Amino acid sequence: MSDVMSITFSHLQGDAMSVPLATVKIGQFSESPHLAIARALDMGAQHGIDWVTERVASSPAQFESLRTGELDLAITSPDNVLMYATTAGNPLKEQLDLQILRPIDRGLGLALYTSASVKSPADFSGMSLGVDVMSSGFALLLLQMLQSIGVNRADLVFEAIGATPKRLGAIREGLVVGSILNAETAVAAEEAGLVKWATSTEIDSNYLGTVLANISGVQSETTRSFLNMWEEVTQVIINSDSKHVKDLLEVYAPKLATDRYVEILKSPEFGVISGESISVDQLTVLAKIRERSGAYTPPEAELEKLAAHA
């Protein structure tokens, strides 16, 4: 993260002097439960920081904004980091100097969903499935899920729709028959009666779903404060009862404040991860998914480098 950040001002009660808070600019695909809970508990003021979020349209858009400094942090798939940090063979045509700051979750219910019209693997033939971009980690995981249920990828059409909420919208509008969804979109898919065919844990139980990443450099005091706050929220999610977590989400993220979403958030299979370390084994899982899909596979030395920075 750059040490040069925009400054916002938070006013104390009465005529007290204003206190400057360094503002972190964050790009995300879906609403962050961590940031909603941090707002509800006023943790930003406690840690001397504030933040603004931007919904990114796609992974290329997210990493372009990181590259230009429009974003300080990305909440993203670790596979995206592999793709943009270890090769220039990505949509930006440039290898970026990135680092993973910490893990966030194990996928938050990441699964392949389709409309109810798909009743058997044979029904997939000739259908269109939505992806972010075909080179993304979620798209490659989707290919593995299809293989696991006996569907030949050559029998399908893949449409580049964009971020996860857009893909759910495309299913609802009938533009595609299915996609890989997670977090609130997975909950919405289940509520809408979509069919779940395979999950990330069925591909590998050590699947790493989401991470915090930024441009490499000397870690600023603001970054350190943000990471400390993030871990504090993680402990609230893990150690609080489900009703308390739901009540906190209700304040700033009411769409996430459902029993099912909180269940996923606290799940040992799919939920949040404590601590800042990431293992080479976790990144190797992603590399092997790439290798089995015939896609670019980062060398082991690059995986070790990224894990060492986390």
* Residues 211-258: tens digit of each pLDDT: 999 999 878 999 999 999 999 999 999 999 999 999 999 999 999 999
Predicted pLDDT of residue 304 = 96
The answer, yes or no, to whether residue 4 has pLDDT greater than 80, is: no
Q: Which residue is it, tokens 């069925």?
A: 202
Predicted pLDDT of residue 57 = 87
* Residues 94-117: tens digit of each pLDDT: 999 999 999 999 999 999 999 999
Predicted pLDDT of residue 220 = 92
Q: Which of the four pLDDT bands, split at 50, 70 and 90, describes residue 205? A: very high
Predicted pLDDT of residue 200 = 96
Predicted pLDDT of residue 136 = 86
The answer, yes or no, to whether residue 169 has pLDDT greater than 60, is: yes
% of the chain at pLDDT higher than 70: 94
Q: Sign of the C-alpha dihedral, residues 147, 149, 153, 159?
A: negative
Predicted pLDDT of residue 19 = 64
The CB-based long-range contact list for 243-251 (8 Å cut-off, 24+ gap) reads 245/37, 248/36, 248/37, 248/40, 248/41, 249/33, 249/36, 249/37, 249/40, 251/36, 251/39, 251/40
Amino acid identity, position 287: A
Per-residue pLDDT averaged across 72-82, rounded? 96
- CA dist 42 and 174 (Å) reads 41
> What is the token pair recorded at 280?
């080479």
Contact (CB, 8 A) for 289 and 137? yes
% of the chain at pLDDT higher than 90: 86
Per-residue pLDDT averaged across 137-150, rounded? 95
* Residues 28-39: tens digit of each pLDDT: 998 999 999 999
pTM of this structure? 0.89
Predicted pLDDT of residue 218 = 76
Q: Which of the four pLDDT bands, split at 50, 70 and 90, describes residue 174? A: very high
Predicted pLDDT of residue 17 = 46
Per-residue pLDDT averaged across 183-195, rounded? 96
Q: List, in order of start, the domains of the chain with CATH numbers.
A: 7-107+208-309 (3.40.190.10), 111-203 (3.40.190.10)
Q: Where are the alpha helices (DSSP H) in 73-182?
A: 78-85, 137-148, 164-172
The answer, yes or no, to whether residue 8 has pLDDT greater than 70, is: no
* Average pLDDT taken over every residue of the chain: 92
Predicted pLDDT of residue 18 = 59
Residues in the chain: 310
